[in-house]
Amino acid sequence: MARYTVRIEVWLREGLVDPEGRTVSDALSGMGFPVSSARAGRIYEISVDAPGAEEAMSVATDMCEALLANPVRDSYHVEVLG
């Protein structure tokens, strides 16, 4: 088995209200930064033991569907870093 680092990004689905992103955008605009919008998400970097990169990707996807992302409101992107 090899050890792979997977990077998982979890975002609210397009079209849903992102109150945290809106708060950040408003605060930065209020401080004088030229910001028109912001989105807030979560990033996880997880070490996975797997026989290959495809298996590491599959395990990471399973993690998203089981715990890390809410399928009703979130979308996610998985990348195997190495």
Question: For residue 14, what is the DSSP state?
Answer: T
Q: Which residues contact 33 (CB under 8 A, 6 or more apart)?
A: none
Which parts of the chain fold into alpha helices (H)? 19-30, 53-63
Structure tokens at 41: 């998400």
74, pLDDT greater than 90: yes
33/9 Cα distance (integer angstroms) = 25
Say whether pLDDT at 13 is over 90: yes
In degrees and rounded to multiples of 5, residue 8 shows phi and psi of -120, 125
| Residue 59 banded pLDDT, cuts 50, 70, 90 | very high
